[in-house]
Homo-oligomer: A and B are copies of this chain.
Amino acid sequence: MGDYLFPAEPGVRAIARELYGHTRGMPIVSPHGHVDPAMLAGDEPFPDPARLLIVPDHYVTRLLVSQGVAPERLGVARLDGGPVEEDGRAIWRVLAENWHLFRGTPSRLWLELTFREVFGLGDVRLGPETADDVYDAIAGRLAEPGFRPRALFERFGIETLATTESPLDPLEHHDRLAADGWGKRVITTFRPDDVVDMDNPRWADAVRRLGELTGEDTEDYDGYLNALRARREYFKARGATATDHGHPTAGTAELDREDAARMFKRRLNGTVVDGDAELFRGHMLVEFARMSVEDGLVLQLHPGPYRDHDAWLRGGFGANVGGDIPTATEYTRALKPLLDRFGHEPGFRMVVFTLDESAFTRELAPLAGVYPAMYLGAPWWFLDSPEGLRRFRETVTETAGFYNTAGFADDTRAFCSIPVRHQVARRIDAAFLARLVAEDRLPLDEAAQTAADLAYRLPKHVYKL
Binding site for B on A (CB under 8 A): 1, 3-12, 62-63, 65-68, 100-106, 109, 125, 306, 309-313, 322-328, 330, 332-333, 336, 339-340, 343-344, 346, 355-358, 361-363, 365-372, 374, 382-383, 385-388, 393-395, 397-404, 435-436, 438-443, 446, 449-450
Q: Is the CB–CB distance between B309 and A332 below 8 Å?
A: yes
Known contacts A66-B368, A105-B399, A388-B398; 7 additional CB pairs below 8 A are A62-B369, A65-B372, A67-B372, A104-B450, A312-B343, A325-B367, A386-B441
Q: Which of B101, B332, B388, B439 contacts A327 (CB 8 A)?
A: B332
Contacts of A438 in B (CB 8 A): 8
- The distance in angstroms between the C-alpha atoms of A8 and B434, with both chains bound, is 10
Q: Which of B8, B102, B340 contacts A439 (CB 8 A)?
A: B8
Contacts of A106 in B (CB 8 A): 398
Contacts of A68 in B (CB 8 A): 346, 372
Q: Is the CB–CB distance between B1 and A440 below 8 Å?
A: yes
Q: Which of B65, B343, B346, B386 contacts A370 (CB 8 A)?
A: B65
- The distance in angstroms between the C-alpha atoms of A104 and B11, with both chains bound, is 19
Q: Is the CB–CB distance between B327 and A441 below 8 Å?
A: no
Q: Which of B8, B62, B327, B395 contacts A363 (CB 8 A)?
A: B327
Q: A104-B442, A109-B441, A439-B6 are in contact. Are A63 and B401 (CB under 8 A)?
A: yes
Which has the most chain B C-beta neighbours within 10 Å: A4, A12, A100, A323? A100
- The distance in angstroms between the C-alpha atoms of A387 and B336, with both chains bound, is 28
| Closest residue of B by beta carbon distance from A324 | B366
